[in-house]
Every structure is written in structure tokens, then in C-alpha cells.
Amino acid sequence: MSTPSGSRDWPRVQLHVVTGKGGTGKSTVAAALALGLASQGQCVLLCEVEGRQGIARMFDVDPLPYDETRIATGLVHDGEQPGSVHALNIDPEAALLEYLAMYYKLGRAGRALDRFGVIEFATTIAPGVRDVLLTGKVFEAVRRNSRNKGARQYDAVVLDAPPTGRITQFLNVSEQVAGLARMGPIKSQADTMMTLFRSPRTAVHLVTICEEMPVQETTDGIAELRAARLPVGGVIINQLRPRDLPPEQLAAARAGTLDRTVIAKDLTRVGVDADDELLDGLLAEAADHAERRALESTQHRLLSDLDTPTYELPRLPGGVDLGALYELAATLKEQGLA
């Protein structure tokens, strides 16, 4: 199958796993990456596994069922065929029922098991089983076979994955099932999944913001992934503050030595009545901004020292709506992640 031009830096990757410390923008980046790839003409499946309906909220569509649903179209470029983003909210119970139907033709019988609470039992009793059902579905979407008749073939799958602290265990399916099965079909299926997750067709990207804790978590996460021989992708530095002030002004803002009279004059010139209260407020904000920028620079250096490509996204003052997602997607495309 010939793939429409995909990611510049990750052309062989079919499964983009996006992890990160909670709240840093994992879901936002996963969505922007999916849109970016769709803007290259790819047909993309964006999956979520934590049952939060974050994708529906970001794309402003109804809550997603357990069914692949087309939610967006890539931006069209001159003459190029636009790709599309489909989304899937994977829940472990539905994945187990589907698995039973696909492999054991347990269509209706599976639903009967569900009535007796067997499915819930299987998925709540053993957290490892829960994870394997989720990763199993992701694997199925990447490696479609004839058991799932008529299902769409994707150029790429983007997974809005569990946070950094859990990602290695989540993807380490062989280990997850080790206690359950030493041989037989479950073991061999887990090993087949592991082969994909460890191959160059998978990349685990890490989202962070330029603050101490998430940067530390990113560093630790990369070490853990490497120790488990899982392929580390890029580091996406999200929510960067604007860099519109020269270093001397930042230093002055931090030291509290910015010239009040100059600022007051500038404000008057643009028609703002500059009283003392307003000036105090502005100077305090400037000091805070400069302080955070300094902290950001320190963390930024630590991230540049990691042996992985980095990508940068600005902090959008208006938050992230669908238009903003397209904007972030374009930025990721320019930088070569998408």
C-alpha cells in the first residue's frame, strides 16, 4: 500500500503513541498530530482509552460510541487530496466483546456473558487484562486483518495514551499477561503486539511543559521506555510563553528596575490613562512573566540535552478550540512531527 506523504521526521511510523504528565496537553497534542497527518492526506484514527470523551469535547461532536466515527477533515493544500480524522473511544468491555465475536464467533453468547457480569468481572478484577484489551484494540486498528470485515484501513493511528508514569507498563503487554499465560494463544498474541510496539512502526511521543516536575517526569519516562526497548519518539514542549522581550528587559523586569515613566508615557501615547495602580499591576505581571521565562529557559536546556528531537507549541492565550487545534496541527507539520 502506498502511503500518502506522512510525517517528515517519522515517515515509517504507523502508530503514534502520545503520553505526558496529566494536564500538560497530551490530548491536545494527540488531536493536533492527527489533524496534521490528515493535512498530509493521511487517513488517521485517533483513539482514546481513558473514557473521558476528551476527543468529542475538543472536536465539538457528540460523545463517541465504540465505533470509528469520522470527525474532521485535514486542511486542503493546492491540489492535494485532503485526509481525514476518525475517532474511537476504546472501552475495555466493548473491546472484550468484540474480541470474543471476532475470534470465537461469540456474538450473542458474548452479550449473554455481559448480562451475567462476566465481562465486568474480567475487566475490573485484573488491571493488566484491562490494559491488554485496550492495547489489543489499538493493535487491531493498526494491523487490520480479514476478521474485522469491511473495516477501514488507516495510514496512521494516534493514541491519546495513559500518562508518562503508566505508559511503559501499559505498552508492555507481554509482561502484563505473563502471570496469566505462559503459552498458548494469549501469550502469542501478546508477543505479536509487542513486536509492533517495539518496532520502528511505533513511536512514543512525550508531551511536557517547561516546568521542573513534568520535565523530570519526561526524563524518567524516556529512561523507562528505553529500558523496556520501546521506541521513544519526539518530545513536544507545549504551552511555551511568548518570547517577545529582549534579555535585558526581562532582567530589568525581574529586578524591578523597569522605567515606570517610560511605560507610563507609552501607555498615554496609545490612549491609556496610566495611574499608579495600573502601573504597579503591570510591573508585577512583567516580573512574574520574566521569572517564569527564566525557569522555562533552565528546563528548556534540560530538554534539549535529551537525546530526542523536540517540537515546540506556543501557549495560546484564548485556550484551545477547533480552530486552535488546526493552528497547532500546522505548527507540528512545519516542524516535521506531523
Ligand X SMILES: Nc1ncnc2c1ncn2[C@@H]1O[C@H](COP(=O)(O)OP(=O)(O)O)[C@@H](O)[C@H]1O
- Contact residues: ligand X, CB under 6 A: 20, 22-28, 54, 238-239, 313, 315-316, 319-320
Q: What is the CA radius of gyration of the chain?
A: 23
Q: Does 219 help bind Mg ion (rule: CB under 5 A)?
A: no
Give whichever of 100 and 210 is closer to ligand X, judged by the CB atom.
210
DSSP-assigned beta bridge partners for residue 336? none
Cβ contacts of residue 180 below 8 Å, gap of 6+? 126, 128, 129, 186
Residue 284 to residue 45: CA distance in whole angstroms: 45
The item of ligand X, Mg ion, none sharing an interface with residue 319, based on CB under 5 to 8 Å by kind, is ligand X
The item of Mg ion, ligand X, none sharing an interface with residue 11, based on CB under 5 to 8 Å by kind, is none
The item of ligand X, Mg ion, none sharing an interface with residue 313, based on CB under 5 to 8 Å by kind, is ligand X
Nearest position to Mg ion, beta carbon:
27
DSSP-assigned beta bridge partners for residue 15? 157, 202
Task: Provide the sign of the torsion angle of the four alpha carbons 27, 30, 36, 42, taken in this order.
Answer: negative
Give whichever of 63 and 319 is closer to ligand X, judged by the CB atom.
319
Which DSSP category does 51 fall into?
A: S
* 21, 88, 158, 162 from 26: Cα distances, Å: 8, 16, 11, 9
Give whichever of 44 and 177 is closer to ligand X, judged by the CB atom.
44
3-state secondary structure of 112: helix
Q: Does 40 help bind Mg ion (rule: CB under 5 A)?
A: no
The least CB distance from residue 54 to Mg ion, in Å, is 5
Give whichever of 27 and 202 is closer to ligand X, judged by the CB atom.
27
The item of Mg ion, ligand X, none sharing an interface with residue 24, based on CB under 5 to 8 Å by kind, is ligand X
- Kindly provide the b/e burial profile for residues 107-142, where b requires at least 16 CB atoms within 10 angstroms of the residue's own CB: eeebeebbeeeebeebbeeeebbbbbbbbbbbbbbb
Q: Does 238 help bind Mg ion (rule: CB under 5 A)?
A: no
Cα torsion at 128, 197, 191, 127 (round to 10°)? 0
Cβ contacts of residue 73 below 8 Å, gap of 6+? 38, 82, 83, 84, 85
Give whichever of 113 and 161 is closer to ligand X, judged by the CB atom.
161
The item of Mg ion, ligand X, none sharing an interface with residue 122, based on CB under 5 to 8 Å by kind, is none
Which of the stretches 32-40, 53-61, 83-91, 204-212 binds Mg ion when contact is defined by CB under 5 A?
A: 53-61
Place of cell 528587559: 249
The least CB distance from residue 92 to Mg ion, in Å, is 18
The least CB distance from residue 26 to Mg ion, in Å, is 5
Tell me which H or E stretch contains 167.
Answer: helix 164-171
Q: Does 27 help bind Mg ion (rule: CB under 5 A)?
A: yes
The least CB distance from residue 225 to ligand X, in Å, is 17
Which of the stretches 24-32, 75-83, 138-146, 178-186 binds Mg ion when contact is defined by CB under 5 A?
A: 24-32
Expressed in angstroms, the distance from the first to the final Cα of the chain is: 20
Give whichever of 23 and 281 is closer to ligand X, judged by the CB atom.
23
Residues forming the site for Mg ion (CB under 5 A): 26-27, 54
